[in-house]
Every structure is written in structure tokens, then in C-alpha cells.
Structure 1
Amino acid sequence: MCGINLIISKKGKAPDSAIIALTEANKHRGPDATVYFTDTYQNGQIYFGHNRLKIIDLSPAANQPFFSADERFLLLYNGEIYNYLALRQELQTQGYAFRTNSDTEVLLAVLITYGQAGIEKLNGMFAFVFYDTQTQQLLAARDRFGIKRLYYVHTPDYLLLSSEINSLLASGLVKKELNESQLLAYLRYRHALKPETFYRDIMELEEGQVLTYANHTLHLASYLTPPAPNLIIYSEAEIIQKTESLLLQSVERHLQADVPVGLFLSGGIDSTLILALAQQLGYAHFPAFTVSNKASESTFGSEDYWFSRVAAQQFGAEHLSFEINASILHYLDELVATLDQPIADGAALLTYYLSEQVKGKIKVALSGAGADELYGGYNRHRAFYHFLQHRSLARMALPLLQASAPLLATGIKHPLRKQFLLLRKLAYKIKPQHPEQTFLNFTSMDRHLQQLLQPQFQVLQTPAEQSNMSTELLRWGLDRDLHQYLIADILAMTDKTSMAHSLEVRTPYLDNHLHQFTQSLPAEVLFKNGSKWILKRILEQHHGQQLTHRAKEGFGMPLGQWLKETANQWLFADLQNPQHLIFKFLKFPETQILIQALRQGRHDYSTELWALIVLARWLNKRFTD
């Protein structure tokens, strides 16, 4: 894991301070080595800066920019290529002589040997810049899952690329202007909608995309070949066997490192199954780390505190659990300073805190991220599946559900609070005549949040795609989460919060072969025996029955309780100040109504208010000096 940085100055030299500031701003991504290189570029100059986090081949010989033996080609690279050993062997049979044991050199050799076509051979997480000093052609790419990030700015004077938006701004070559069109996207979906960002001139290279630059011309394209249609029908036993085999191989590849590796363990299906497979691979006393709320706060939080302990004991992990309380909220300003863009996900604060706690104990952490998107694990996935199966019933039941929804208490502590919250969401989000919009509603926050936006900022976002068959709709919904929510929320906040503490996070479920097989299954197969039944059956074969019956819970804080406590009312200071920058965009009186509804226990708007708290802090940090 590293930080990659590049500037092409088209009209003469840029200030040397630009590449230095650009690279220094993401030094936390790679504190082990920092290297610069510059060269002439037509009538201008090209600058490279790289910060390295040493994971594989710790020698200085693997530092970057990494040059070919003849010094014609160079590579800036961030990530891990998990099949690098197989690719290395393939290239050696063709006569390629390697000078290091790094996956960096393997990636460079793949690109020299196969060109852009070689990118599809890579199984891993990556963002890289590959440059030919002879032809002055540049190629940049991002992995197919969007695990690693790459942002760029293209103006008449400059092309800049970096692993982080904050770094681009630090260069002094990029105008800092708010992209107001992303406000509605944020208030709906918790994040910006790529490829745009919260900054007008800064774009995000999308997953599976390649950027080429030559003769001052920038071109974007996908490097992925569409998969061939699958004509094989698998039995349940074959699905389970093949999934376990592919996941086991993926976990084994993800454990490759020359530094200590551990696991983020929630006690849910996804992370527990990784732990079980690591044990099967012979990793005894595997380091596992949990962050959890108190047992007394589980109604508003989760039961990770209990299930993670059970999982660790059963699979022989060396377990360390960090119990949190509301004092963790004081990390908010540190979190906001870390974020390139606001992300309205309470899990970001937990991941930031957990990454800080494990720093020095491990340098790589495995995560269960991606499993819910692949296997339909979210409550909204199951709800959408049943909605598509019973649309006529939904149409008949909806009036009754909408009439009773206001009576369902969600803002006070009681055993059915989470169920009531789900029913209340369904009442306002189901649109029987518009299934695509129904799914988009399932992925969005409460409608009252979007209604806070001043009319001039109510910019229409990307419309839903059209589809006619229920199976296509189901796959469309799953794929949308895979390509939007997973990348712009889960993976984005994981990358930012972990790398702030120089910690690499790996995601074994996001493996080329496992993804290809899962995508080949009809979407409805994923739900035929209940939510994530495939993963549950595999875990049960490892004697994890006690953990497979756990209800789905998000990775988050008990905000519904904490935000009502007197000691935490400081969090609302920005939202109760009508002069704050946020109220250039939001309606002040209506915002106060949401705050009072939460305080009085009428409805749990904690998710929505957390989104506003983060946005207000972020705007204050980035746009009020």
C-alpha cells in the first residue's frame, strides 16, 4: 500500500514545491520510503513522487518509482497483486530476469510484456501509473473492484494524478471549488456519485478503467472484457463446494506478506468465515481485532462484543477487543481531517479508531468487505428480492403499512426498535409501480434529509436504469451496490481511515475468480435458502452454527442513544448555528425539527443527523479558513 503522485506540466516547469507538497500530503500512506523523479516532457516537465509502505520484499531495491533494467519504463504503484507469484513464473519461462522479489517488479514486467492487455491478468487491488520515457506515453489504471483509489485533474496547463484528493489540493496547482451538484447525492446515498467528486475540477478514475495520456490528449476506457454467458447449472452442493474452494484460495493469497497480518473480526458471517479458513490453512492463534459497544447499548448498536468473542474462541484466534463508549465521538475532527470527501457512515469513525489501535501490532488487516454485495447480505437486498416476488401483495399492503408507520416508535429503547425502524423505512420507500426507484430508495437515507436542501441545489441525479424481468432487476440492484455503495462508501472510508495509520486492509471476498463464479449464478439463487445461505453453509461445515443464526447488523455506533445524551450535545453546535456555511445549502428551521424529533424520542434520525454533522464539519474544515 502506497501513495502515488504525478504532475505533467505542459508549458514549462512547475514549481518544485508542487510535487513535494503533493507527495508529502499523503506520506502517511507510505512512511517507509519517499522517492522523487523528474524528466522533460515535450515542452514541459513530468514529475513523479512515491510514498512506500513496505509489505512484500522490504528491501530498498523495491522502492518506487521502479524502473525497468534499461530505464526506459517506470512504474508508480499502490496496492497488492495477489497472483504475482504465478505471473512471475509465467514471465520467467519467457526469459524475463527479475532483480527483486517484489510484486511491483512483476507488475512492471506484465505491462512491458503484454501492454494494456496485461491488466486483465492481474488479480488484486491496485492503482498505478506506467510511463514510457521513450514515447512519453502514460497509462494509469484502477482495479476492477475499485479497492484502490486514483484521482486526477486535467487542465490546459497540467495533468495531476494522486491517491488522495487532499494531496492534489496541497500541490497548489488545483483550484478548490465545491461541486455543489454532489450535495443531493450525499444527502441521499451518504457519498458523492463517481466519477465526480465534491470538487469541481477533480475526477475519480473509475473501477476497471484505464487512463491514457499522449500528445496532450487524455482518453478513458474500460480494460475489462465482458464475461461470457454461463450455461452451467450448478447444484447447491456444487455451489457450496466451489465457493469454499475459491474463497480458501483467495484467503491464502491474501495472507502473503513479509510483515504481520491480522483480521478485523466482527463476529458476523463474513469475517468469521475468513478466520475459519485461515485456521484451516494452518494459521493458529491468528491475530483478530474487534471494536464494539457495551452490551447495554446493543439495542442502538450491535452485538459484536459477544459474537466476536465466540468466533475467536472457536477458531483459536489471538483476540483483542476494544470496547468503545461515547468518548470516541471526540475523534470526529481527526476523522474529518482525514476524509477527502464527506462520507455519512458511522463505521468510518470505528474503522479509524480500530486502525489506530492495531497500528504497531500488525501492518496488514483482512476484512470481510464485499461479501454483502456479492451475496446479497444487506437487509435491503432481501427486502428487494421479496418485493420483486410479491409486488401485487406489496401494492395491497402498502396503505396499511403507511398508515401504521407513524405509530412505530423508533427513537426510544425497546426490543423491537430495529424491526420497527425497518418497517418504517419500507413504508415510505416501496413504489410498487417503480421497482428501480424502490431499490434506489432502499439505498438512500430518510427522505426528510433530502428535503432540507435549498431548491437551487436540488440537482437531478443519475436516473435508474430500466429493466423488465424480475431476475434482471435483482441482479441490477446487487450490481449497483457493488459499483456504487461498496466503492464510494465502504472501500473509500476503509482506505482513508486505515491508511491514515499506515495500515493496509485487504478484502479476500473481492477476488477475480470468486467474483466471476458468483456473478455467473442467477441472482435469485443467492436468496433461495435465505440471506447469504452459501456462506452460512460453508461456515456450518466448519462447525460455526452458533454464529450463522445471527441477525444482520451493520458495523456502526449506537448513535441513536449517544446523540440524545446531554454530554454529547456539543455535536449539534454547527447545526444550531444559522450562520454556519452549511445553511447556505440547507434550510435551518427544518433542520431543527429533525434534531428535536431525535431528542424527544419521536423518531431515530441519528443516521441522518450524523450525515449533517459530518458534512458541517467537513465544510468548515475545507472551505472556511
Structure 2
Amino acid sequence: MCGIFGYYSSGGTRYSDTELAAMGETIRHRGPDSQGIWHDVDHGVALGNQRLSILDLEHGDQPFISDDGRVVVVQNGEIFNHEEIAEDLKGSPWACRTHCDTEVILRLYEKAGIAGLDQLNGMFAIAIYDAKEEALFLFRDRVGEKPLYYHLDADGLVFGSEIKAILSLLPERPALDYTALNLFFGLNYVPQPYTLFEGVRHVKPGHYLRVDRSGIRENCWWDLSRIQLEEKSEAQWIDEFNSLLDDSVRIRLRADVPFGAFLSGGVDSSTVVGLMSRHMQQPVRTYSIGFDDPKYDESPYAQEAATRFQTQHTLEIVQPNLLSLWPMATYHCDQPHGDVSFLPTFKVAELAAQDVKMVLTGDGADELYAGYDKYKSFFGSGEDEYVCDDDFAQRYIANIRLFDDPSLTRLFAEGVRQQMSPEHSVSAVVRKELERSRHMGRINQALFVDTELLLSGNNLVKPDRMGMAVSIENRAPFLDYRLIEHAFSMPGELKLRQGETKYIYKKAVAGLIGDGLAYRKKQMFTVPVGDWFKKDLRPLCEDLLLSERTRARGLFDYDYVEKLLTDHCDERNNNTREIRALMAFEYWCREFMD
């Protein structure tokens, strides 16, 4: 795990080594162990890396440079099948000389060019400069586990693992992007490739950019929508699932530093820990936090799983109200997120970071196997209820929205509304993904939307940014591309059946983790902020939503905002999510725009 940064000049712009070093320092939390920068001032190109040492501690410093000096590589992430690729390259002109996974990227590129990188199984954001081509490649993993942002203007391109690295090189702070603003309040997060900074974009998952003197080109190298449904028996699906997940866990245990796992006691983390225990000689180190309010405390289930698998378990009981961490979380995320589960995620990462540098997590399983209750409630009568494409699209979009279109019209000030394009509305963005997945069946279409938008836009931001805030790497076995492709070749009725979420998955792992953990009611990793808004936190809400500082931005109809808060506090409506999003946005404004 690391942070990467750099630039490619198409004009006369050149940055100094001092500016580049400072750019890296803005993301030092991602890689505090060392900094490496390669800079060709004559050609106006630089690649930098902040390293968090996980593999080959002695020989893994970046950038990696080819013998002839033609190719330079930096990466953020891990290549989990690097041992197998290195073995295949033995005895060839591209044989690896270290045990570092970044060298595998260099050798594959030397051997086969950018097309060779489709062999990578991992989470990664990669920058490659090819001096012969005079081209920079920005290459991102399949589902967006690792972030990679860029800013393009007439002078060239600046890139970084976090937006704050890019901002450090720009002469002035970018303006607010109104399209992204509309999408944030429509979805509760900003979907990729948009960001709230005008001119700053996110390389899309499964895509790469080629930047050269002629301009910039975007290419798709992995497309989940190409997966076709298959027919197999339940026994076949279960055998394949168990085999793939077991191997995914196995290759994610490769590390030259102490590691462990987050353990909530839910089906996902319990399964990962159970499989880890099969492959390890020593007890798995597991970490969880609990709350002193039993309504929100999962720690007894985590202890049950820890006892079952004889882990070395660390538990910390914390106060449920972690909202004092919100500004810090906003700084690390670069963008607002209305999801307060970022805060307990930070606390468990902070706890684990006292002992280990890497953890395995259960992230991604809910989106692949229909784990959220929202799927159960939406498909209550089965997916056959939604025969008409347009009816399904309208109703599913309504199901996942934060503010609907009439509410957005009321929310934004008239001058702001005029700068928003309907071509990039929530409806347009979601309909595009539904169209791409129309051959998959209704349940899988819903999961496809969440995998393409929610997972990369919010749910994977959480473990990456909150882990990196304390310099700890998160690995998600469920997001092995082999499992993702397997999951989307599986009919939706095997994931959600008669009100049972994760139907086939739970059936597959019940023998490993026990029926009690496999079939217990899902508990969201969250706290009762909606109740706090009505009482103890009302002054905070009023400051963030209605103060003169907030109103001076002129972005919203503040009478409408005040009504949202008043109706919530007077219990006429539950506006928790809307208030949370408005608070998150104002925290972001104060951190990045003021």
C-alpha cells in the first residue's frame, strides 16, 4: 500500500523537486516509510511514491526503472498473484530480481506493453511512463479499490492518490463542480469519475488513461457488464464459491509484516477469519470495537467468532458518539460522505494499527451477494414483479436516492440549479448502468449498479481512506476479480431467495462459521445520530446548516434547509440522511473551500 503522485507537462510547465517532495508529503499517511521520486525535467514528467512497506522490505522502494531507463513504474496497492507471475517470468529476459510486487508490473509492461497488465490480480492504481512512447499511463484496478485522481488543463496533467496532492501543485483552488454537487445530494456520495472539484476527475475502475503529446485517451480494459449468466446446480455454485474464496484469502496472506483482520461477527468478516485460520500456523490477530449501548454493539458476535477460530482478539469499547472525528474523516476523504460508518471504521483501524500494518476485511460481499436489507425490501415479491425496463428503472432509482428531483429543486438556490445539466443527473447516471446490465436479471442489475457506483464511490472509499489515515492496508478477499465474475454469472435468485439475503453464500459457509453467525440478523455498522440531532447535537446542526458562514455560500434555499431540520426535530419526518448529507457537505466546504 502506498500513495502515488506526479505530473506530465504538455507545455512549458516544470515543477521543482521541492514542490514534488511537498506533493508527496500531503499523502505521507499513505506511505510513511519512504519517499521516492523520478523526475525528467527536460521532458516535464515526474512519478513519485510514498511507500508503506508490506512486501520485500529491503528491495521494494519505488519507482522501479527498467535497465535501459525507458520505463518507470509506481503503484499504490498490492498485486496478490505476483509470486505466480514472477514464476512464469523466470528464465525469460523479463525475470524478476526482487520479491516486490511492483517489479512484476514493470516486467509485464516490458514484455507485453499495457495489455500485459490484465494478468494482475489485486488492488492497484499504477502510473507508468514510457520514454520511447513519450507517454504516461494511469491504470486503475477493476472495481476501484485504490483511488487515482487527475487534473488536466492546457499545461498538462497532474495526478495523485488523493485530491489534496493535486491541489498542492495547482496555482489556485478549483471551483465547485455543480454536476458533482447535484449527484452528491442525489446519492449521498459522489460517483466516479466526478469530484466536487471542477477539473479534477477520478480514473474510472477497470480503465486506464494514455497521456501523450497529442492529448489524453481513456480505455476500458475490464468490463463487468460482459459477464453472462450461467446455469449450474446449487452444489456446483457452492463448490466453486468456496474454492475461489479460499484461494482469494490464501494469496492475500502474503506479507512481510505483521497482519490481522477486522472482525465484526457478521457473516463476511467471520468467513474471512475462518478461512485465514485454515492457512495460518499462528492464531489470527482480530480487531473489533464495541459500543456501550447494547442496541448498537456487535462485539458479542465478534467474540463468538474469535472463540470459534481461537484468534488473538482485541476489543475496544468506545462511546457511540464519534462525531468529533467527522472533520478529520472529511480531510482524509477529500470529498463529503453522508455515511457516518466511516467513523467507527477509523476507530477499528486505529486499534489494529497499534499491532499490524495490514488487515483482511469482508468488504464487497454485500454488493456481490445481495446482503443489504434494501434488496430484500425492494424485491419483496421477487424480481419477476419488474417486467418493464422503465418501471424497474424508475422504482429502483427512487429506492436508492437521497433527495429526489423535486426535493433537489427545492434544495438548491435558483442560480445553482441553472448550472446543473440533466444529462448528468442521478437518473441519467443510474439508467446508464441499468442499460449495460439488462441481460443480467433484475436482482443482478441492482447489484451491478451498486458495484459500479456505490462500491467504488463510497463503500471502498471507507476502508481505504480510514485505513490509510493510520497507515494500515486493507485487503478484501471478496473483491478478487475471479469471485466478482463468478458472482455476476450467478442468477440473482440464488442470492436473494424468499427474503433470505446471501442465500447461496450463507449456505456455502454455514459449515465453516456455524448457523448462528451465518444466519444472524444483519446489523449495520452505525449509530443513532438521527436521535442526537433532535437534542444534544441540534446546536451543531444549526451551525453547520444555518449559520451566517453557511448561508453566505448561497448554494441552497435555507428556508427549505431549516424546514428539514425543524420537521426532523419535531418528529414530523425522519430527515436523518438528508441532514447528515448537508452537514457532511458543510464540513467539506470548511475544510477545502474556505
| Aligned with 2:584 (options 609, 614, 621) | 614
Separation (CA, whole Å) in 2 of partners of 1:229 and 1:323? 43
Distance 1:226 1:439, change over 3 A: closer
Q: Normalization by structure 2: what TM-score? A: 0.92
RMSD of aligned residue pairs (Cα, Å): 2.5
| Matching residue's letter, 1:214 | D
Q: Is the 8 A contact 2:47 2:127 kept in 1?
A: no
Correspondence for 1:53:
52
1:523 aligns with 2:505: no
Q: Where does residue 141 of structure 2 map in the other structure?
A: 143
Which stretch of the first structure deviates more once superposed, 123-132 or 490-499?
A: 490-499
* Counterpart residue identity of residue 116, structure 2: G
- Are 2:543 and 1:573 equivalent residues in the alignment? yes
The 1:247/1:571 distance shift into structure 2, 3 A limit, reads same
Cα shift readout 1:149-182 (whole Å, capped 9, x = no counterpart): 1111111112111111111001134642110222
1:551 paired with 2:550, answer no
1:383 to 377, 385, 394: 377
Q: 1:470 offset after TM fit, Å?
A: 9.0
- Measured in 1, the distance between the counterparts of 2:264 and 2:574 equals 24
Aligned CA distance change for structure 1 residues 469 and 501 (closer, same or farther; 3 Å): closer
Q: Deviations over 1:85-124 (max 9, x none)?
A: 1100111143433221101111111111111211211110
Moved more, 457-466 or 602-611: 457-466
- 1:506 and 2:500 equivalent? no
Residue aligned with 1:289, SS: strand
Quote how far apart the aligned CAs of 1:505 are: 0.8
Aligned equivalents of 1:48, 1:605: Cα separation in 2:
45
Code of the residue aligned with 1:10 in structure 2: it is S
Query: Among 504, 508, 512, which residue is 1:542 paired with?
Result: 512
1:210 matched residue in structure 2: 208
AA paired with 1:517? H
Q: 1:495: how far off?
A: 1.4
2:107 partner SS? helix
Q: Residues 326 and 562 of structure 1 are in contact (CA less than 8 Å); yes or no, is this contact kept in structure 2?
A: no
Q: Distance in 2 between matches of 1:258 and 1:102?
A: 10
Question: Is 1:8 aligned to residue 2 of structure 2?
Answer: no
The residue that corresponds to 1:397 in the other structure is: none
Question: Which amino acid in structure 2 is aligned with residue 606 of structure 1?
Answer: T
Of 336, 341, 348, 2:335 maps to 341
How many Å apart are 1:501 and its aligned residue? Answer: 1.1
Over 3 Å counting, the alpha-carbon distance change for 1:232 and 1:473 in structure 2 is closer
- Say which SS state the counterpart of residue 120 (structure 1) adopts: helix
Residues 283 and 312 in structure 2, CA contact (< 8 A), matched pair in contact too: yes
Give the TM-score normalised by the residue count of structure 1.
0.87
Any conservation in 1 of the 2:227–2:488 contact (CA below 8 Å)? no
The alpha-carbon deviation at position 289 of structure 1 amounts to: 1.3
Distance, in Å, in 1 between the alignment partners of 2:109 and 2:45 is: 20
Aligned-partner SS, 1:126: strand
SS of aligned partner of 2:591 = helix
Q: Deviations over 1:282-314 (max 9, x none)?
A: 354311111232334x2xxx3423222222222
- Between 528-537 and 214-223, the greater mean CA deviation after superposition: 528-537
1:585 counterpart letter in structure 2: L
Q: Secondary structure at the match of 2:565?
A: helix
Which segment drifts farther, 530-539 or 8-17? 8-17
Letter of the structure 1 residue corresponding to residue 401 of structure 2: S
Selected match of 1:454 from 405, 410, 413: 413
Q: Distance in 1 between matches of 2:458 and 2:350?
A: 20
Q: 1:311 aligns with which of 299, 305, 315?
A: 305
Is 1:486 the counterpart of 2:455 in the alignment? yes
Assess, with a 3 A threshold, how the Cα gap between structure 1 residues 174 and 133 changes in structure 2: closer, same or farther: farther
**Structure 1: tracts of 5 or more residues without a match:** 395-430
One-letter amino acid matched to 2:19? A
CA distance, structure 1, for counterparts of residue 391 and residue 302 of structure 2 = 40
Q: Which of 458-467 and 65-74 deviates more?
A: 458-467
Tell whether the 8 Å contact from 2:229 to 2:491 is kept in structure 1 after alignment. no
Asked if the contact 1:382–1:527 (Cα under 8 Å) also holds between the matched residues in 2, the reply is yes
Contact 1:3 1:30 in 2 (8 A): yes
Structure 1 residues 151, 432: CA separation in 2 closer, same or farther (over 3 Å shift)? closer
1:303 and 1:484 map into 2 onto residues whose CA distance is 29
Q: Give, in angstroms, the shift of residue 341 of structure 1.
A: 0.9
What's the counterpart of residue 354 of structure 2? 360
Structure 1 pair 289/576, CA: closer, same or farther in 2 (3 Å)? same
In terms of mean alpha carbon deviation, does 144-153 or 439-448 score higher? Answer: 439-448
CA separation of 1:150 and 1:230: change in aligned 2, threshold 3 A: closer
Aligned 8 A contact 1:265 1:308 in 2: yes
| Shift of residue 189, structure 1, vs aligned partner | 0.8
Q: CA deviation at 1:224?
A: 2.3
Report SS of the residue matched to 1:542: helix
Deviations along 1:542-601, whole A, 9 cap, x unmatched? 252111222223222221233334267434422131441576122212222222233234
Q: Tell me the residue number matched to 2:121.
A: 123
Aligned runs of 1:207-606 on 2, under 5 Å?
A: 207-224=205-222, 232-282=230-280, 284-296=282-294, 298=295, 302-386=296-380, 389=383, 391=385, 434-445=391-402, 447=404, 450=408, 451-458=410-417, 459=420, 460=422, 461=425, 462-463=427-428, 464-465=431-432, 472-528=441-497, 530-566=500-536, 569-581=539-551, 584-606=554-576
Secondary structure class of the residue paired with 2:177: coil
Deviations 1:445-472 (A, max 9, x none): 2548634223443433052246697953
1:200–1:229: structure 2 CA closer, same or farther, 3 Å change rule? closer
Q: Alignment identity in percent?
A: 27
Cα distance in structure 2, aligned partners of 1:603 and 1:391: 29
1:92 aligned residue (65, 83, 90): 90
8 Å Cα contact 1:187-1:449 kept in structure 2: no
Indicate if the aligned counterparts of 1:210 and 1:223 stay in contact, CA closer than 8 A.
Answer: yes
Comparing 366-375 with 227-236, greater Cα deviation is found at 227-236
Give 2:315's aligned amino acid: S
